[in-house]
Amino acid sequence: MRTFHCGSLVPGCDWHTRAEEDAEIVARAVDHLRQTHGESIIRPSIVEQIKARISEEENVS
């Protein structure tokens, strides 16, 4: 499972998502940036920053 935490891109934001595919995470993150942070234009550099911050979710035992 892959995960993305918006706070790694937008300090102070607690939103996060997880999915099997990075493309699904990017789509959710872009939607979140538009709805929550008021971003109307999502530049390719932002998409690359999202991708760079996606990580493998660690299993917590």
- Give the per-residue pLDDT at 38: 97
- Give the per-residue pLDDT at 4: 98
Q: How far apart are CA 31 and CA 60, in angstroms?
A: 28
Domain boundaries, given as residue ranges, for the chain = 2-56
Q: Are 3 and 55 in contact (CB under 8 A)?
A: yes
What predicted TM-score, i.e. pTM, was given to this entire model?
Answer: 0.90
Enter the tokens of residue 55: 């990580």
Contacts of 42 (CB under 8 A, 6+ apart): 30, 33, 34
- Give the per-residue pLDDT at 58: 80
Contacts of 33 (CB under 8 A, 6+ apart): 6, 10, 39, 42, 46
Per-block mean pLDDT, blocks of 10 residues, the chain (61 long): 97 97 98 97 97 88 54
- Give the per-residue pLDDT at 61: 54
